[in-house]
Structure 1
Amino acid sequence: MSSSTPAPRRGNTRQRIQDVALELFAEQGYEKTSLREIAERLEVTKAALYYHFKTKEDILISLAEDLTRPLDELLEWGATQPRTLETKQEIMRRYGDALAGAAPLFRFMQENQATVRELRFGKDMKERMMAMVELVKEPEAELADQVRAVAALFSMHAGMFLLQNLDGSAEEKRAAVLEVALDLITQANSSKS
C-alpha cells in the first residue's frame, strides 16, 4: 500500500469494494485495473463483486456520489445565501472540508484526467466546479477580481496535491491553504464595497 493511499474509511461490503477499487485505480490507473483484480484484492469471487457493481465505472460513479454529496449540499446551501463576503468566506471553509473528505477521489481525478474526461462522472464534476465558481465570483466585478475568486477555489485544489512536500502537518497545510483562499476572496470583494 502506498503512503498516499488512505486507510479504508468504512466497513460494509459495498464501501470496501469502493475503497479497494480506488486504491487499485491509484496504484495502477483506472484503465489497467480489472474487476477481477478488485475481487482478488478483496478476496471475494467476481460474482460477489457483480452483486454490488457491474462495471468499474459503476464503482467510480458510486464513489463520486458518496464523496461529492457534501459538495452538492454546499452548492445548494450557497445558492440560497446572500452574495456577501461572509457567505463566500463560509463557502471556502466548507469547500475545504468537502475537499478533505473527498481527497481520495480528487487524487484519482488528478492522476487519471484523460479517463475522467471520457466518463460521465468527469462532466458532472466539471459542472460542479463551474457552479462553485459562480457562487464565489461576482459577474460584474473587474476581471482581476473575478480571477482572484476563481484562484481562491483552485488554491484549495492545489493545496491537496502540490503542497505534499512542504513542511508542516496536514492540518497546518490545510489551514494555510484556507488562509490564502480567504485572502483572495477578500481581495476579490474589496473593490465591491
Structure 2
Amino acid sequence: MATPHVRKGDTRHRIQDVALSLFAEQGYEKTSLREIAEHLDVTKAALYYHFKTKEDILISIVDDLARPVDELIDWAEGQPRTLATKQEILRRYSETLWGAAELFRFMQENQATVRELSIGETFKSKIQALGELLKEPEYSMTDQVRCITALFSMHAGMFAMQSIEGDPDDKRAAILEVAQGLIADAHRDAHRGQTDTP
C-alpha cells in the first residue's frame, strides 16, 4: 500500500489524510478506527477526541474539500450566463477536482458506501447545482445532455487517464478541453442563427 501523504502539525488534518488514504486503498468498510489510530501512532482515545466515528471523519473531509465547490457555485450564480462564464465554471471545477483527487478516487471506488452515507446526497446536490448553472431551459435535450456530460466527463477523465502515459498537467488540460468543448457545442446549437455573441 502506498504511504499516505500526511500533513504535519494539525492533528485533525493528519487524521483526515491517513483515514482518506486508507479508505481509498482498502475500502471504507474494511478500515477501522483502530487501524487509523495505529497508522497515526496515537491511541484510540486520542482519535475519539477529534472524531467519534469513521463517518464523522469522512463527513469532515467532504465538508473541507467541498468548500471550494460551494464557493464556485456562489460565484457562478452572480455571473452572466454566457459561454465564457460556463467555461470558467469548468476551469475552476477542474482545479477543485484535481486538488481533491484522493477524495474522488475514494468516492469512485466506494460508490455503494457513498450512496448509503450522507455524503452521497451532499455530493449529488452540488453536482446538480453545477449542472443547472451550465444548461439553459431553452436548450434541446441533446444540448442539456452535453452540459451534464461535461461535468461527468471531468470525473471519468480523472480515472481513465490514470492508465494513460503522459504529463499530469497535459492530462488535466485535455480533460478540460473536452468538457469545455461540450459546453461550446451546446451553446453554439442553442444560438445558431442568432447574432448574440458568447
Query: What corresponds to 2:116 in structure 1?
Result: 118
Runs of 4+ with deviation above 3 angstroms = none
Q: Work out which of the residue numbers 164, 174, 177 in structure 1 matches 2:175.
A: 177
Query: What corresponds to 1:18 in structure 2?
Result: 16
CA distance 1:9–1:176, change in 2 (3 Å): farther
User: What secondary structure is seen at the aligned counterpart in 1 of 2:85?
Assistant: helix
CA distance 1:32–1:6, change in 2 (3 Å): closer
Q: Is the 8 A contact 1:34 1:56 kept in 2?
A: yes
Name the count of aligned residue pairs: 191
Larger radius of gyration: 2
Q: Work out which of the residue numbers 58, 62, 67 in structure 2 matches 1:60.
A: 58
Query: What corresponds to 2:101 in structure 1?
Result: 103
Equivalent-residue separation in structure 2 for 1:6 and 1:141 (angstroms)? 44
1:80-136 deviations in whole A, cap 9, x for unaligned? 111110100100100100111111111111011011101111111011111111010
Equivalent-residue separation in structure 1 for 2:123 and 2:39 (angstroms)? 28
Query: What corresponds to 1:190 in structure 2?
Result: 188
Query: What corresponds to 1:70 in structure 2?
Result: 68
Equivalent-residue separation in structure 2 for 1:185 and 1:9 (angstroms)? 37
Kindly state the Cα deviation for residue 79 of structure 1 after the two structures are TM-superposed: 1.1
- Out of 53-62 and 7-16, give the one that drifted further: 7-16
User: What secondary structure is seen at the aligned counterpart in 2 of 1:188?
Assistant: helix
Q: Is the 8 A contact 2:33 2:44 kept in 1?
A: yes
Q: What is the root-mean-square deviation in Å for CA atoms of aligned residues?
A: 1.2
* Structure 1 residues not aligned, in runs of 5+: none
Q: Work out which of the residue numbers 23, 31, 34 in structure 1 matches 2:32.
A: 34
* Structure 2 residues not aligned, in runs of 5+: 192-198
CA distance 1:8–1:153, change in 2 (3 Å): same
TM norm structure 2: 0.93
Give the counterpart letter for 2:34 in structure 1.
Answer: R
Kindly state the Cα deviation for residue 6 of structure 1 after the two structures are TM-superposed: 5.7
Equivalent-residue separation in structure 2 for 1:27 and 1:176 (angstroms)? 27
CA distance 1:30–1:10, change in 2 (3 Å): same
Equivalent-residue separation in structure 1 for 2:118 and 2:71 (angstroms)? 20
Q: Work out which of the residue numbers 129, 138, 141 in structure 1 matches 2:139.
A: 141
Query: What corresponds to 1:90 in structure 2?
Result: 88
Equivalent-residue separation in structure 2 for 1:62 and 1:10 (angstroms)? 18
User: What secondary structure is seen at the aligned counterpart in 2 of 1:94?
Assistant: helix
Q: Is the 8 A contact 1:6 1:104 kept in 2?
A: no
Query: Identity over the aligned pairs, expressed in percent?
Result: 66
